[in-house]
Chain A
Amino acid sequence: MAYLPYILCFVLMAIGIYGMVAKKNVIKIIIGLAVTEYAINMFLVVLGWRAGENPVAPILAAGQEDFLANTVDPLPQALVLTSIVVGLGVLALAVALAVRLYQKYGTFDITEIRKLRG
């Protein structure tokens, strides 16, 4: 059961990628993109988890003796903050493109958004 969180992360990631490649609606593709991002962020956070005697947040309190043994790894949490911001950039651009696509084509269906060929 120790691997369960990792497996769930990969299941979530697979769902997201399925949404990105199999769905025909631009908005659903963007939702798939977001789900995949969250799955990977979750994976990073889970990697940093350490089950000590009495796990604590990575903030050093005064006089805490067993800090290193019990704290979770703070680095993945910092990485996740960065990757959330990066993900926000991608998502915002994707949504902006979706709006402009709707203005040009009048539809969100990617089977109808096909002027490029070859």
Chain B
Amino acid sequence: MGVGKLLPLFVAVPLGVGFIMPLLDKLRRERILDAVAIVTSLFLFVLTVVLLTGGGDSVYWMGDWKPRLLEGKTLLGICLVSDGLSRLLVLIVNAVAFLVVIFSSDYMKRYTSRGLFYSLFFLMVAGMNGVVLTGDFFNLYVFLEVASISSYALVAFGCESEELEASFKYLVLGAIGTLLVLTGVALLYGLTGTLNMGQVAKILASGETPMKPAYLALGLFLAGFGVKAAMVPFHAWLPDAHPSAPAPISAMLSGVLIKAVGVYVLCRIVFNVFALTPHGAHVLMALGIISMVAGGFLMVGQWDLKRLLAYSSISHMGYVVLAVGLAAEVLVRDGSAALASLALLGGLFHLMNHATFKSLLFLCSGAIEHAAGTRDLKELGGLGKRMPITSGCTRIASLSIAGVPPFNGFWSKLIIVIAVAWAGHYWIAAVTVLVSFVTLVTFVKVQRYVVQGEPSGKTASAREVSAGMTMPMVVLAVLCLVLGLTVVLYGPFRKAVLDSAADAMAGETDGYVSKFELPE
């Protein structure tokens, strides 16, 4: 048990701090707010490390409502589950949140109401931690809405006309997504009479329920969480919403939110709750390929730095979903288990890498906007001389996202391409490499227009940003370099973080149900 007792803290602490922040705001001492925010996020990060090193899967039953038998029926309460996949996502959420809070403490000086900003920020973190840890469908919906509503509000935080417009668009599309999810939850409850994800998986696997409504529910989930993960054709909100938010929030949205409430839940539902089917696997692969290609080609022509990064997020989520879908397809046709786990490893590794380099790129774009007052690529240039640290970080992140060895993006893309080719999909492998090349071209363009050249116009007076902003960027840049090599060369880290996550997914429904220890 041990670490299982810690699980509610991942939700309770940020939720509590989120509601205390507006009260602290009344003190009108911004340093206190920053200190509380940094201490809270550091605490969450330490808690994550404890959870990761504590090892083993654990289930926490709220209020000790463990599953028990009564007259042949299993009664149970709401639970939080920590397995490999959840732990990977918890690590990403809390590590990025910690660095982003440090960045915000200096960056958010340009905005008012710091207390409300931190309040919404921690509510979003609580929602994301809840989504990745919960083992109950309705709880999942509630945490999804907590994370979503705070992200709608954070996108509109600047209250400029573009931000309000982007936020409204995001809210309407996001609300359609969550309503589809709620319909799916209702259908599953009607079919199985339970909301516990393990019990639902068990009942669906037993074959006693009609499967057609279950597949309707699966379709609703795919569409609903497809909106949240910004899979093409559900992506329309992302290129408006992510650039409109303040830079640290863009880093959270692109680096973490679309993974935690989008891709993670898609993986969990397709692999662990519904038995894998060829159709589900093909839908995931198709979504992945379309997102990868469409995101990649829409990205090239962008001149707004943050909008370009937003399109690249769509493309990279495509890589992850493609790899995961491939693993599902291999598992369904009883292909080699080694190939399936290689594809899963590639996908999850890319998920983790994307969190590092995309957060870094959005933080860099924030620093650049802070110093130069613009994020139009045509007006930038020569920042290599004016802002050496920011430019260096931008360079490292660009090389990493473009897949240049030895940075982390290279290794995960390599694993994905090898897995796709090994599975015999040579055309898809070729497309993957092509999109990777398009990404390289785009980020050569970014470097050409941002870093190189002579400072002029708006960049002439740009100065390096303060240490509070450069420090998180340097940490992420070092991670971009180290993370790839660590995973490739140092086995124990890979086993603890990535392999256990891949195992949790490859265990399919049986592996997931066994974690709940339901009585027969």
A76 vs chain B, min Cβ distance (A): 7
Q: Is the interface of A mostly helix, strand, loop or mixed?
A: helix
C-alpha gap A83/B166 in the complex (Å)? 25
- Residues on A with beta carbons closer than 8 Å to the beta carbon of B142: 82, 86
A47: contacting residue among B138, B162, B186, CB under 8 A: B186
- Residues on A with beta carbons closer than 8 Å to the beta carbon of B145: 86, 89-90
A115: contacting residue among B141, B156, B161, B168, CB under 8 A: B161
Q: Does B175 contact A (CB under 8 A)?
A: yes
What would be 28 A-B contacts, judged by CB atoms less than 8 Å apart?
A17-B176, A33-B172, A36-B175, A36-B179, A44-B186, A44-B189, A47-B190, A75-B189, A75-B195, A79-B189, A82-B138, A82-B142, A89-B149, A90-B145, A90-B171, A93-B153, A94-B172, A97-B156, A101-B164, A101-B168, A105-B161, A113-B165, A116-B166, A116-B240, A118-B239, A118-B302, A118-B304, A118-B307
Q: Do the beta carbons of B175 and A33 come within 8 Å of each other?
A: yes
Q: Do the beta carbons of B172 and A40 come within 8 Å of each other?
A: no
- Residues on A with beta carbons closer than 8 Å to the beta carbon of B172: 20, 29, 33, 94
C-alpha gap A47/B444 in the complex (Å)? 56
C-alpha gap A82/B195 in the complex (Å)? 14
Query: Considering only CB atoms, which chain B residue lies closest to A45 in the complex?
Result: B186
Q: Does B183 contact A (CB under 8 A)?
A: yes
A40: contacting residue among B160, B167, B182, B244, CB under 8 A: B182
Q: Does A24 contact B (CB under 8 A)?
A: no
Q: Do the beta carbons of A115 and B162 come within 8 Å of each other?
A: yes
Query: Considering only CB atoms, which chain B residue lies closest to A102 in the complex?
Result: B164
> Which residues of B, 100-151, contact A by the 8 Å Cβ criterion?
138, 141-142, 145, 149
Query: Considering only CB atoms, which chain B residue lies closest to A30 in the complex?
Result: B172
B161: contacting residue among A26, A47, A104, CB under 8 A: A104
A20 vs chain B, min Cβ distance (A): 6
Q: Does B159 contact A (CB under 8 A)?
A: yes
| Contact string against B for A residues 5-41, beta-carbon threshold 8 Å, 1 for contact and 0 otherwise | 0000000010001001100001001000100110010
C-alpha gap A100/B159 in the complex (Å)? 8
C-alpha gap A53/B365 in the complex (Å)? 66
Chain B, interface size category, equals: 20 to 34
B223 vs chain A, min Cβ distance (A): 12
Q: Is the interface of B mostly helix, strand, loop or mixed?
A: helix
| Contact string against B for A residues 90-118, beta-carbon threshold 8 Å, 1 for contact and 0 otherwise | 10011001101100110000000111101
Q: Does B152 contact A (CB under 8 A)?
A: yes
Q: Do the beta carbons of B152 and A93 come within 8 Å of each other?
A: yes
A93: contacting residue among B149, B179, B239, CB under 8 A: B149
Given contacts A13-B183, A40-B182, contact A94 B171 (CB under 8 A): yes
| Contact string against B for A residues 65-78, beta-carbon threshold 8 Å, 1 for contact and 0 otherwise | 00000000001100
| Contact string against A for B residues 171-204, beta-carbon threshold 8 Å, 1 for contact and 0 otherwise | 1100110010011001001100001000000000
Q: Do the beta carbons of B175 and A97 come within 8 Å of each other?
A: no
Query: Considering only CB atoms, which chain B residue lies closest to A113 in the complex?
Result: B165
- Residues on B with beta carbons closer than 8 Å to the beta carbon of A26: 168
C-alpha gap A36/B145 in the complex (Å)? 16
Query: Considering only CB atoms, which chain A residue lies closest to B182 in the complex?
Result: A40
Query: Considering only CB atoms, which chain B residue lies closest to A80 in the complex?
Result: B186
Q: Do the beta carbons of B138 and A79 come within 8 Å of each other?
A: yes
A100 vs chain B, min Cβ distance (A): 5
User: What 8 new A-B contacts, CB under 8 Å, besides A20-B176, A75-B189, A94-B172?
Assistant: A47-B186, A79-B189, A82-B142, A83-B182, A94-B168, A100-B156, A104-B161, A116-B162
Q: Do the beta carbons of A97 and B164 come within 8 Å of each other?
A: yes
C-alpha gap A36/B195 in the complex (Å)? 22
B15 vs chain A, min Cβ distance (A): 14
- Residues on B with beta carbons closer than 8 Å to the beta carbon of A36: 175-176, 179
- Residues on B with beta carbons closer than 8 Å to the beta carbon of A93: 149, 152-153, 171
Rank and list the top 5 A-B pairs by shortest CB-CB distance, nearest first: A104-B161, A47-B190, A86-B145, A116-B240, A44-B186
